[in-house]
Amino acid sequence: MTAPIRAVNDFVVKFANVNGSGSASANRLFAKAILRMGVPVATRNIFPSNIQGLPTWYEVRVSEAGWLGRRGGVDLAVTMNPQTFEKDQAELEPGGYLFYDSTRQLPDSRFRRDITRLGLPLTTICNEHWSDPRQRQLMKNIVYVGALARLLGIDMAELERLVGEQFKGKEKLIEPNVEALHLGFEHAGRELAGACGLEVRRADAVGERIFLEGNAAAALGCVYGGATVCAWYPITPSTGLAEAFMRQCERYRIEPETGKKRFAIVQAEDELAAIGIVIGAAWNGARAFTATSGPGISLMQEFLGLAYFAEIPAVVFDVQRGGPSTGMPTRTQQSDILACAYASHGDTKHVLLFPEDPAECFAMAADAFDLADRLQTPVFVMMDLDIGMNEWLCRPLAWDDSRRYDRGKVMTFADLEAGREFGRYLDVDGDGIPYRTYPGTHPTRGAFFTRGTSRDRYARYTEEGPAYVDNMQRLLKKLETAKKLLPAPELVPAAEPTRFGLIAFGSSMPSVREALARLAEEGVHLDTLRVRAFPFSRAVEEFVATHERVFVVEQNRDGQLRQLLVNECGIDPARLWPVLHYDGTPVTARFLIRAVLERLSDAKVVPFRKAVS
Amino acid sequence: MTYLPKPKLHHPALPKNAIGLTHRDYEGAISTLCAGCGHDSISAAIIQACFELDIEPHRIAKLSGIGCSSKTPTYFLGTAHGFNSVHGRMPSVLTGANLANRDLIYLGVSGDGDSASIGLGQFAHCIRRGVDMVYIVENNGVYGLTKGQFSATADKGSKSKRGVVNTDSPIDLVALALLLGATYVGRSFSGDKPQLVPLIKGALRHKGAAFLDVISPCVTFNNHKGSTKSFDFVREHNDAVNRLDVILPKKPITADYEPGEVIDVPQHDGSILRLIKLEADYDPTDRVAAMDYLFEHRARGEIVTGLLYVEPHATDLHAELGTVATPLNRLGEAELCPGSAALAEFNAAHR
Ligand SMILES: Cc1ncc(C[n+]2csc(CCOP(=O)(O)OP(=O)(O)O)c2C)c(N)n1
Ligand code: SF4
Ligand SMILES: [Mg+2]
3-state per-residue secondary structure call for B88-127: CCHHHHHHHHHHHCCCCEEEEEEEHHHHHHCCHHHHHHHH
Q: Is the pLDDT of residue A610 over 50?
A: no
B150 phi and psi angles, rounded to 5 deg: -65, 145
**Range in A273-282, A388-397, A448-457, B245-254 with the lowest mean pLDDT:** B245-254
**Interface with B, mutate which of A228, A397, A416, A468 (most B CBs under 10 A):** A228
Architecture, CATH, for domain A490-612 = 3-Layer(aba) Sandwich (3.40)
pLDDT in tens, A402-453: 999 999 999 999 999 999 999 999 999 999 999 999 999 999 999 999 998 8
pLDDT score, position A50:
64
The answer, yes or no, to whether any atom of ligand 1 lies below 6 A from the CB of B40, is no
| CA–CA gap between residue A603 and residue A597 (Å, rounded) | 10
pLDDT score, position A265:
98
Q: Is the pLDDT of residue B99 over 60?
A: yes
* E-strand stretches of A378-498: 379-384, 391-394, 449-451, 490-492
B261 band by pLDDT with thresholds 50, 70 and 90? confident
DSSP B316-338: -HHHHHTB-SS-GGG--HHHH--
Are the CB atoms for B206 and B183 separated by under 8 Å? yes
B168 phi and psi angles, rounded to 5 deg: -90, 150
pLDDT score, position A379:
98
**Burial group, residue A490, by CB count within 10 angstroms (0-12, 13-18, 19+):** middle
Tell me which chain B residues have a C-beta less than 8 angstroms from the C-beta of A439: 58, 61, 80-81, 97, 101, 104
Is A273 near chain B, with CB under 8 Å? Answer: yes
A326 band by pLDDT with thresholds 50, 70 and 90? low
| CA–CA gap between residue A25 and residue A15 (Å, rounded) | 12
A312 phi and psi angles, rounded to 5 deg: -105, 130
| CA–CA gap between residue A359 and residue B180 (Å, rounded) | 43
A328 band by pLDDT with thresholds 50, 70 and 90? low
Q: Do A280 and B103 touch (CB under 8 A)?
A: no
**Closest to A266 in 3D by CA, of B162, B349, B92:** B92
Q: Which is more confidently placed, A21 or B345?
A: B345
The answer, yes or no, to whether any atom of ligand 1 lies below 6 A from the CB of B210, is no
If you average pLDDT over residues A206-212, what whole number do you get?
98
| CA–CA gap between residue B92 and residue B98 (Å, rounded) | 10
Helix (H) / strand (E) containing B185 = strand B184-189
pLDDT score, position B5:
58
Q: Is the pLDDT of residue A539 over 90?
A: yes
- Of A397, A404, A464, nearest to B347 by CB-CB distance is A397
Are the CB atoms for B265 and B312 separated by under 8 Å? yes
**Range in A27-41, B55-69, B277-291 with the lowest mean pLDDT:** B277-291
Q: Is the pLDDT of residue A212 over 60?
A: yes
| CA–CA gap between residue B316 and residue B322 (Å, rounded) | 10
Q: Is the pLDDT of residue A49 over 80?
A: no
Q: Is the pLDDT of residue B91 over 80?
A: yes
**Closest to B344 in 3D by CA, of A601, A219, A396, A443:** A396
Atom 8 of ligand 2: nearest residue by CA position: B37
Q: Do A405 and B96 touch (CB under 8 A)?
A: no
B270 band by pLDDT with thresholds 50, 70 and 90? confident
| CA–CA gap between residue B216 and residue B42 (Å, rounded) | 8
CA A155 to chain centre: 30
Q: Is the pLDDT of residue B1 over 50?
A: no
User: What topology is assigned to A212-394 in CATH?
Assistant: Rossmann fold (3.40.50)
Average pLDDT, chain A: 95
B232 phi and psi angles, rounded to 5 deg: -65, -45
Q: Do A262 and B324 touch (CB under 8 A)?
A: yes
| CA–CA gap between residue A426 and residue A278 (Å, rounded) | 24
Q: How far is CA A403 from CA A292, B18, B57, B337, in A?
A: 28, 45, 36, 10
Q: Is the pLDDT of residue A612 over 50?
A: no
A150 band by pLDDT with thresholds 50, 70 and 90? very high
Angle at A506 between CA A500 and CA A507, to 5 degrees: 105
pLDDT score, position A609:
53
If you average pLDDT over residues B114-137, what whole number do you get?
98
**Range in A323-337, A447-461, B106-120, B129-143 with the lowest mean pLDDT:** A323-337
The boundaries of every CATH 3.40.50.970 domain in chain A are 212-394
| CA–CA gap between residue B99 and residue A242 (Å, rounded) | 17
pLDDT score, position B9:
62
Q: Is the pLDDT of residue A513 over 50?
A: yes
Q: Is the pLDDT of residue A330 over 80?
A: no
**Burial group, residue B149, by CB count within 10 angstroms (0-12, 13-18, 19+):** middle
Q: Is the pLDDT of residue A508 over 90?
A: yes
Tell me which chain B residues have a C-beta less than 8 angstroms from the C-beta of A442: 58
Q: List CB contacts of B242: < 8 A, sequence separation 6 or more.
A: B263, B275, B276, B277, B278, B279, B282, B284, B306, B307
- Of B2, B81, B99, nearest to A448 by CB-CB distance is B81
- For chain A, what is the total number of helices (H) and then of strands (E)? 20, 23
Q: Is the pLDDT of residue A611 over 50?
A: no
pLDDT score, position B252:
65
pLDDT score, position B250:
75
If you average pLDDT over residues A168-196, what whole number do you get?
95
User: What topology is assigned to A7-199 in CATH?
Assistant: Pyruvate-ferredoxin Oxidoreductase; domain 3 (3.40.920)
Biggest CA–CA distance in chain A, Å, is 89
Q: Which is more confidently placed, B200 or A50?
A: B200
Ligand 1 atom nearest residue B216's Cα: 21
Atom 9 of ligand 1: nearest residue by CA position: B67
**Closest to B151 in 3D by CA, of B140, B162, B136:** B140
CA B303 to chain centre: 18
Q: So what's the ipTM on this one?
A: 0.96
A152 band by pLDDT with thresholds 50, 70 and 90? very high
Are the CB atoms for A301 and A344 separated by under 8 Å? yes
Atom 5 of ligand 2: nearest residue by CA position: B33
CA A74 to chain centre: 23
The boundaries of every CATH 3.40.50.920 domain in chain A are 490-612
**Closest to A279 in 3D by CA, of A246, A304, A296:** A304
Q: Which is more confidently placed, B281 or A461?
A: A461
A20 band by pLDDT with thresholds 50, 70 and 90? confident
Is B93 near chain A, with CB under 8 Å? Answer: yes
Are the CB atoms for A218 and A361 separated by under 8 Å? yes
Amino acid at the residue B234: V
pLDDT score, position B329:
98
3-state secondary structure of A490: strand
Helix (H) / strand (E) containing B306 = strand B303-310
Domains of chain B: 23-330 (3.40.50.970)
Per-residue burial over A262-297, b = 16 or more CB atoms within 10 Å of its CB, e = otherwise: bbbbbebbbbbbbbbbbbbbbbbbbbbbbbbbbbbb
Tell me which chain A residues have a C-beta less than 8 angstroms from the C-beta of B83: 280, 283, 310, 449-450
The answer, yes or no, to whether any atom of ligand 2 lies below 6 A from the CB of B218, is yes
pLDDT in tens, A367-387: 999 999 999 999 999 999 999
Are the CB atoms for A531 and A561 separated by under 8 Å? yes
The answer, yes or no, to whether any atom of ligand 2 lies below 6 A from the CB of B39, is yes
Q: Do B100 and A210 touch (CB under 8 A)?
A: no
Q: Is the pLDDT of residue B280 over 90?
A: no
| CA–CA gap between residue B152 and residue B322 (Å, rounded) | 36
In terms of CA atoms, which chain B residue is nearest residue A442?
B58
Q: List CB contacts of A105: < 8 A, sequence separation 6 or more.
A: none
| CA–CA gap between residue A294 and residue A304 (Å, rounded) | 14
**What percent of chain A has pLDDT above 70?**
97
State in Å, rounded, how far the first CA of chain A is from the last one: 21
**What percent of chain B has pLDDT above 90?**
85
Amino acid at the residue B26: Y
